[in-house]
Structure 1
């Protein structure tokens, strides 16, 4: 006979010191992010203040975006918009190889796209190029009729 034990997991609470250890951030940085409203205020106050998994997640998200080269202003915008699911582009590194698609529309008019970062497949890139060419021709035709 099998015996099943059900455990109720209590939400983990962290002190400021524990939170700083887990995130690799200083107390001053965490307090600064709270002041800038990038991170929620702690639960409780004074010596009874504590932080939850949500606070940890917020700080780790900020750390990830800072490493990606985003400014605190942009991070604040992303947090307000709730775009955690849309990670920022990776910073370019010296010597990194990137694959770009290039469309020469006309003399002095070009479209450059990195399909992987743009989240576009080959068919979508072709459609983008086709519609861009159509839009350019339409604009040039309209100019000629004026």
Structure 2
């Protein structure tokens, strides 16, 4: 009788150990760790492209000072460059307006330049009807 009890207890311990092992494997290898930060969507890298707007020259407000620079848009989406090319006159007009209605002091500060970039990004997204523009790059910038 004692050997039957020992055999049953051994089988129960083996089954419980097996269940704990399987649960550990499932938790470690199949579920993300933390606050959901390692899902497939967060691992997927967003592909961006730079779309050249070109040289922009304009007077800044009524200050008598001029801005000249070369601008690129950082975009996502495969069709976005074609949309931007199609709407280029409206986009350039919007960029020139954004710069010309700015204050010289805001363009020369980092915070002001970041705000100008955000304004340009939002305006271009509104013009093309998407949220595909994710950044604005000034590769040349001359303030005279």
Structure with the larger strand share? 2
Does TM-score exceed 0.5, indicating one fold?
no
**CA radius of gyration, larger in:** 2
Structure-2-length-normalised TM-score: 0.23
- Relative CO higher for 1 or 2, CA cutoff 8 Å, sep ≥ 6? 2
